[in-house]
Amino acid sequence: MNYLDALVMHGPRLWDGLLLTLQLTVVSGLLAFVVAVVLGLMAGSTKLLVRLPARIIIEFFRGTSLLVQLMWLFYVLPLFGPSLGAMLVAIFALTLNYGAYGAEAVRASLTSVPQGQWEATAALSMSWPHKMRRIIFPQAWALMLPSLTNLWVHLLKGSSIVYIIGMSEFTFELLQLRRTTDWLFALAIVGLVVYFIIALVLTQLMRLFEARSKYKLGRGPSLKEILSPVLTNKISPADEPAAVAPGGAR
């Protein structure tokens, strides 16, 4: 089978696998962020009854392999309860696993907010939801975004192991194509390039969010300035050349 025939035959399957990978990355990434915020807030609580359950969940999902979690949820859980579909299992496992890692980033970012900000909210008698929404979380958000971006890229790469529960994502389809051809090197290059492009797009999007959050805090340029295709270099009056008279005098 030549290269063109193989692409025509397996092209739709590769495309479907890529769409599934993107779906898992986006849906699980957004849900993992929600889980990370909730668990991070709970883990940073001063109340033991609130903090302890969050710590247990975080340490359990950080301390066990994503591969093992997928196997338990898909193969073992149905022995004791309802059976979940492969898609739900994949999203559930990716969400909890990377949400647990993200929770530590959220907790650390909240504790990195200057103590004076917390004391100011207490002096103003602000309620907990009000101070988190208006004062604390916007500052912590700018701090946690780089870590959450890294985790989202890791989630993208981690989605490639969901084939063990029967999901035909992009890596699985590449392996299937490898079985019918001898293009090991070419397919490896394709896989590297595709995952790199997706990771690059995710990273750049998250950097825009990071820049926007810093701009709102007065710590950087606006998105309009970052995305502007025209760069204007303003010359200060001190840098302007002095006018020369016709006779040579300045």
| Domains of the chain by residue range | 12-230
13-30 tens-digit pLDDT: 889 999 999 999 999 999
| pLDDT above 90 (res 100) | yes
Instruction: Name the range with the highest mean pLDDT among 3-17, 44-58, 125-139, 181-195.
Output: 44-58
100 vs 117, higher pLDDT: 100
Q: How many C-beta neighbours within 10 Å does residue 173 have?
A: 24
| pLDDT above 80 (res 194) | yes
The per-residue pLDDT of the chain, averaged, comes to: 84
> What is the Cβ-side half-sphere exposure of residue 83, based on CA atoms within 13 angstroms?
6
| pLDDT above 60 (res 237) | no
103-113 tens-digit pLDDT: 999 999 988 88
Q: How many C-beta neighbours within 10 Å does residue 222 have?
A: 13
Least confident interval from 22-36, 80-94, 112-126: 112-126
Supply the pLDDT for residue 7. 67
Please list, residue by residue across 122-158, b when 16 or more beta carbons sit within 10 angstroms of its beta carbon and e when fewer do.
eeeebeeeebbeebbbebbbbbbbebbbebbbebbeb
Q: pLDDT-derived band of residue 136, with 50, 70 and 90 as boundaries? A: confident
116 vs 22, higher pLDDT: 22
Supply the pLDDT for residue 3. 62
Q: Rounded to an integer, what distance in angstroms lies between the CA atom of residue 28 and that of residue 156? A: 9
Rounded mean pLDDT, 81-96: 91
Q: pLDDT-derived band of residue 135, with 50, 70 and 90 as boundaries? A: confident
Does the model's pTM come out above 0.85? no
CATH 3.40.50.300 matches 12-230: no
| pLDDT above 90 (res 236) | no
Q: How many C-beta neighbours within 10 Å does residue 6 have?
A: 15
